[in-house]
Structure 1
């Protein structure tokens, strides 16, 4: 027994000596040095290192580190998109209402299910979810609860990091819409205050949710109605407003209207216009439907939104005859490719470097406004929770608390 006890004592002593030696080595590493090391590590191993020590957890969880890591790895995710699929178009191999879609393979690369844990609403309500937008790896989703009799409110809003599988349910907004709608939303990241913000417009009132303060606040700036989805870039939200472009400064929380577009009026030649973000700039897309032509313009700089009274200038970077003499819309996918979606759901991929077009597989069915560029990130939000999913989407059944049976989620 004494020999066995002595072996244990020696083993424990050796372990303690190794631990002290490791601590001595660690003490010579500054936080700046650890940051340089962490920035070079792959995503999943980096997540596991958060449990090693409190100091590592603090470094890796900080917004400043997450932003630096995102800047280093953004190009690796250039081909990835997050999409929201309608209920009628969910297939057995597609396990959820939200998925990641890769451009290079033109297929779903990962099924994400939903931004809340299984059983949160006692049923699947993906058909009543709305993808608002994404910025810096955080995704904003609105879930409609109006068909659930047990619900105490009509909408829930989540900020979701699909890469870390965490999400946060936001507090209820303060401004009610007397017409029963949910208003319109724009979501983005304030790069100055490192704050994820959600702006909500209801009639002539706008309110902003701040993830740093976890509150909604009504702002003084008069909202400007938009006729397209908001797109986030460099701390601004951009959207079409009639024949001009509008912006929202996420840091100053003010609306900026009357920004000149490359096409002043939409006549028979330029029959539709939309904006998106690509190549680290705002891109205007004009489509000549009858001729099947598309023109792409890039905003020369952001002085027009940063400084008052400066007129926007645009450069035409592409004019291409796609040869689609029917209704379609264009979604910019990566830095050199975009996808066209016709009204019957067919899709064509166009590479503006090679000038080649490729047919894209029919599934998943993509709706306009349900497609956003996505880059995985380490950003975390205070109060977020781990999302737990076990069963496939198709194995879930609607609860009796929902009206209308299998059609309860139809808009």
Structure 2
């Protein structure tokens, strides 16, 4: 017994000499599920694991798979086996669902049937979801916006927006400010009395408020979403060129010229994407068999001063071999998610010169984003509490610590 107590005291003395920096280095090497459990070990560990800087470092050290997507399925058009599959993690390479995610909100907020909702974006493990509430609530607002961490099963509803909207024209974007470690939602609307005047506001998770953006943008997205988040900017295609939103400075840079004249291609066939860590644009000519991809030569045009014109270099001309409507996504620099003339989706690999994986027909267009699990937690996050039967079926082996922050 004395020998056992001696070993215990020796071990306690060794542990007492560990600094927070050393513990951080050890904890960074552990999986997310283990870290969620370790939050309850001590206040010191809770503080370390809950910090944005720890979450950022842990995400940077984690293995990366560009083909894991968070997706929304069109259950209104296709009958799924289980409504739990409404949001899921999907792997492009295998064409298989990896995990069903349920919903980002707790039970009791809406009627039993599923309300209309869509994905706005996914950054650093936090997912932004828009839920239409106009049919269920006696309220002036049309939507609820949730920030959601599927890995930790926590979410929060953000405050209502402040800028009046014209429901027929509204676009959302979601990004992460790596300078201030701040998740932000940008919202653009057309002014109620003038379709050529555009208003915008931005939500900051650090401030937990919306702020009206001045000066107002001079162009408006062709779609109700932003295409890409890269190098501290959100990007989309507008009526007059490419639009960029500086996530840290919270300003718009509009009318960025594209690598072709306005009459060459229809804008709904153009997407902004990433190619070898550069900003790129993809054009799929309607009902043609090829894709063109350009990269931006110099990001100085994004400074907003107006003195630098954007220049582009064509990097790829891909002959797909089938007539296509447009490219829905771009992955691993050589893989294109394509919608063909028969409304079928497939993953095309330009290196192999062949189609790779057929995508299920209920895969909702523009409702999928690259996804990586993370530990990010936001002020106001609460544990999602589903109905008892679902919790018993899906969470019986999940020993995550339930923490409201």
TM over 0.5: yes
Mapping for residues 3-42 of structure 1, pairs under 5 Å: 21-42=10-31
Which one is further off, 233-242 or 29-38? 29-38
What corresponds to 1:122 in structure 2?
111
Tell me the distance in 1 between the aligned counterparts of 2:266 and 2:247. Answer: 35
Check 1:174–1:354 CA distance in 2 against 1; reply closer, same or farther (3 A cut).
same
Check 1:235–1:271 CA distance in 2 against 1; reply closer, same or farther (3 A cut).
closer
Q: Does the 8 A contact of 2:284 with 2:325 survive in 1?
A: no
Tell me the distance in 1 between the aligned counterparts of 2:242 and 2:95. Answer: 31
Tell me the distance in 1 between the aligned counterparts of 2:250 and 2:304. Answer: 15
Check 1:60–1:14 CA distance in 2 against 1; reply closer, same or farther (3 A cut).
same
Check 1:360–1:53 CA distance in 2 against 1; reply closer, same or farther (3 A cut).
same
Which one is further off, 266-275 or 291-300? 266-275
Q: Give the TM-score taking structure 1 as reference length.
A: 0.83
Tell me the distance in 1 between the aligned counterparts of 2:266 and 2:246. Answer: 32
Check 1:182–1:310 CA distance in 2 against 1; reply closer, same or farther (3 A cut).
closer
- The CA RMSD measured in Å over matched residues stands at 2.7
What corresponds to 1:405 in structure 2?
none
Residue 292 of structure 2 is aligned to residue 304 of structure 1? no
Structure number, greater radius of gyration: 1
What corresponds to 2:242 in structure 1?
245
Which of 356, 359, 375 is the aligned partner of 1:358? 356
List alignment gaps of at least 5 residues for structure 2. 191-197, 391-405
Check 1:65–1:280 CA distance in 2 against 1; reply closer, same or farther (3 A cut).
farther
Give the C-alpha shift of residue 206 in structure 1. Answer: 1.5
What corresponds to 1:171 in structure 2?
159
What corresponds to 1:258 in structure 2?
255
What corresponds to 1:131 in structure 2?
119
What corresponds to 1:103 in structure 2?
92
Q: Does the 8 A contact of 1:221 with 1:253 survive in 2?
A: no
Which of 172, 179, 186 is the aligned partner of 2:173? 186
Q: Give the TM-score taking structure 2 as reference length.
A: 0.84
Give the C-alpha shift of residue 205 in structure 1. Answer: 2.1
Which of 81, 92, 100 is the aligned partner of 1:92? 81
Give the C-alpha shift of residue 347 in structure 1. Answer: 1.6
Deviations 1:352-375 (A, max 9, x none): 3333222404343322x2121111
Partner SS state of residue 68, structure 1: helix
Q: Does the 8 A contact of 1:270 with 1:288 survive in 2?
A: no
List alignment gaps of at least 5 residues for structure 1. 1-9, 393-411
Give the C-alpha shift of residue 80 in structure 1. Answer: 0.4
What corresponds to 2:278 in structure 1?
281
Deviations 1:42-65 (A, max 9, x none): 222222222211111111111111
Give the C-alpha shift of residue 159 in structure 1. Answer: 0.5
What corresponds to 1:227 in structure 2?
222
Check 1:297–1:129 CA distance in 2 against 1; reply closer, same or farther (3 A cut).
same
Tell me the distance in 2 between the aligned counterparts of 1:349 and 1:70. Answer: 27
Q: Does the 8 A contact of 2:284 with 2:324 survive in 1?
A: no
Which one is further off, 334-343 or 135-144? 334-343
Q: Does the 8 A contact of 1:271 with 1:289 survive in 2?
A: no
Check 1:181–1:25 CA distance in 2 against 1; reply closer, same or farther (3 A cut).
farther
Residue 41 of structure 2 is aligned to residue 47 of structure 1? no
